[in-house]
Amino acid sequence: MSKVVIINGSPFTSSRLNGLIQYAEQQLQQKGIEIDYIQVAQLPAEDLIKAKFDSEVILNANQKVEQADGIIIASPVYKAAYTGVLKTYLDLLPQKGLLGKTILPLFIGGTLAHLLSIDYALKPVLSTMGGRYILGGVYAVDAWVTREENEQYSLSEELVQRLDAAVEEFANALNGQKA
């Protein structure tokens, strides 16, 4: 069974990004893939800001990444890039901490103007960390995700179709069917 870690780089627990994450998680679990989480904003701020590589919490988070076959990196887009809190965590992963991992980016932003943030902001960093199989990912606009009751989200049909295709590609890659 494949194991995936979802790294949620949102500084807020109620982000619409959760709609994308929940949908992807459900689709992957239906395929028998085990899911674990790293909620970066819940890691100790002092460990992140002061780059405490030897922090027990950071070491435990890094171990989840090391043991995973695939990584979903999810983030809202601020100022044309992923969040600063996500960057501080990525800086604490080992230099080649993504070697051999299949990676699926999931981003959300206010407008389509930041559509290329995955390609121009995230992928170069992941490549320096050994990431070689980084999927195209999914960029969503806030308006495509509606908050419902009880931390549930409704996604536009277009977004669902794009997520379905991305998750299918991700699952196939995890199963050794890389194109």
Domains in the chain, ordered, with CATH?
Answer: 3-177 (3.40.50.360)
Give the pairing type, strands 153-155 and 145-147.
Answer: antiparallel
In angstroms, what is the C-alpha Rg of the chain?
Answer: 15
Helix residue spans in 68-155 (DSSP H): 84-90, 117, 123-128
The pLDDT of residue 179 is 46
Q: How many CB atoms lie within 10 A of CB 41?
A: 17
> What pLDDT was estimated at residue 150?
84
Distance between the two ends of the chain, CA-based, in angstroms?
A: 20
d(CA 11, CA 84): 9
Would you state the pLDDT for residue 50? 97
Q: Measure the CA–CA gap between 77 and 154, rounded to whole angstroms.
A: 20
> Which residues lie closer than 8 Å to 19 by C-beta, 6 or more apart?
145, 146, 147, 153, 154, 155
pLDDT given at position 177: 59
**Tokens 């405490």 — which residue?**
52
pLDDT at 14: 85
Which residues in the chain show pLDDT less than 50? 179
